[in-house]
Structure 1
């Protein structure tokens, strides 16, 4: 049976307690907890979560949280998922100086100004405000230009809503768009054919090589593509090494893995 949090009343929701955290993590000291997955538990009060000073990875998605006060003391926190809650502000996160990835999709953030508190987080690179696949968003995302505003407010971001906004990836994407334009694909309807004749899928000129003056764009795109593939391979290698280290660190001495989040 999974450990449950304490309830202060019928309408107060679940409150995190030290007993709950120790049961979920398998640790005897809150300061020793590195990873926690506490999603979908009806949490409304983070209780003593702020005492987990060594916490690096935290999933609080799909709860009923309206504030993140206790998280202000988590200086080691690098990854935080608070999607699908009831947050209207993120001010406590201003103290989470190690934060690198933040998912706040599916909350009640009404404007880009609510992200001002994140401006001092030098390591923050990934921010998700909406997730179309999960049908999660924030009111601020109703503004068509919100991504540009977020990028201006937080220039250190590399990824917004899963889309790369800086670095090699975005440059390669732009090159692909330029290349597609140079090929004039889909530029105009296909002429009507007499009845009974098969209509071609594309214009005969579709497969022709680009004009000579556009060859530099193709060369740049190919070079950027190769660089991007190499970068992805290197990131994959580093990710595999990090996962292996995490699994080793999470392996309990007794061999019983049921008390851990993974």
Structure 2
């Protein structure tokens, strides 16, 4: 699979060097680099990336990487994007003990066995092995029971392939579901509509809108966050509709009582 290139032309470089990192970040001390985007540069040698020991977010998507051994030094890494490369061995990533989000879509992972090293990552919340937007996948995804195997292997993840895992690991999802169920239950409680006080909208218009960052390194985090926001919008919409229907019914009942008198 040919790696997807950035819209802006990027000069290719085969190896990550201190000079490359300094020119792209403006940092002269590699340990000072916290966020790094090296997308679609033709990189196949990670070179000195292991010296950036304080890296928190790293985007290496769209390169020609096969060996990720230097990444083992990045113990505080939180978000790692390795999509559209040629990676099959994930053993070094097991040392990234702070990792929460890992994008491996568009690589050469052929079996669930290749993913076993990641089971030691207790903070891992999101794994992506396929991305339909860019038509990225892995050979393992062709297995009909692929999703179930991954959920059994990683019972605590909250997001798989960009989709929130329903009923697993997501306290926010369960909270929204409980609220939604309560609203539905109260509408028809004892066959009567409940008395509802005057209600204002939960949030102001535009509350759920967020401004996108120009930093492409956090794209994956935004993608996952927007999934949650979408669910919240739907919940807010259903709740507002239920409240308006209840108020309308109560108003009709009050009018009927007045006529009866």
- Relative to structure 1, the CA distance from residue 106 to residue 34 in structure 2 (aligned partners, 3 Å threshold; closer, same or farther) is same
Equivalence map 1:222-261=2 (5 Å): none
- Relative to structure 1, the CA distance from residue 124 to residue 61 in structure 2 (aligned partners, 3 Å threshold; closer, same or farther) is same
Residue aligning to 2:24 = 24
Please tell me the root mean square deviation across aligned C-alpha atoms, in Å: 3.4
- Relative to structure 1, the CA distance from residue 34 to residue 87 in structure 2 (aligned partners, 3 Å threshold; closer, same or farther) is same
Q: Distance in 1 between matches of 2:188 and 2:144?
A: 35
Equivalence map 1:32-111=2 (5 Å): 32-111=32-111
Q: Distance in 1 between matches of 2:144 and 2:172?
A: 22
1:38-83 deviation line (CA, Å, top 9, x unaligned): 0000000000000000100000000000110100000010000000
Q: Distance in 2 between matches of 1:3 and 1:76?
A: 28
Residue aligning to 2:224 = none
- Relative to structure 1, the CA distance from residue 170 to residue 163 in structure 2 (aligned partners, 3 Å threshold; closer, same or farther) is farther
- Relative to structure 1, the CA distance from residue 149 to residue 169 in structure 2 (aligned partners, 3 Å threshold; closer, same or farther) is farther
Residue aligning to 2:150 = 150
- Relative to structure 1, the CA distance from residue 29 to residue 123 in structure 2 (aligned partners, 3 Å threshold; closer, same or farther) is same
Task: In structure 1, list runs of 5 or more residues that go unmatched.
Answer: 7-13, 179-209, 217-228, 244-262
Shift of 1:144: 2.0
Shift of 1:133: 1.2
Q: Distance in 1 between matches of 2:42 and 2:164?
A: 33
Task: In structure 2, list runs of 5 or more residues that go unmatched.
Answer: 1-8, 190-201, 215-261
Runs of at least 4 residues of structure 1 off by over 4 A? 2-6, 168-175
Shift of 1:143: 1.1
Residue aligning to 1:137 = 137
CA contact (8 A) 1:3 1:24 kept: no
Residue aligning to 1:118 = 118
Residue aligning to 1:161 = 161
- The TM-score normalised by the length of structure 1 is 0.62
- Relative to structure 1, the CA distance from residue 105 to residue 34 in structure 2 (aligned partners, 3 Å threshold; closer, same or farther) is same
- Relative to structure 1, the CA distance from residue 173 to residue 47 in structure 2 (aligned partners, 3 Å threshold; closer, same or farther) is same
Shift of 1:158: 0.6
CA contact (8 A) 1:43 1:65 kept: yes
Shift of 1:168: 4.9
- The TM-score normalised by the length of structure 2 is 0.62
- Relative to structure 1, the CA distance from residue 148 to residue 169 in structure 2 (aligned partners, 3 Å threshold; closer, same or farther) is farther
CA contact (8 A) 2:101 2:126 kept: yes
Higher mean Cα deviation, 59-68 or 166-175? Answer: 166-175
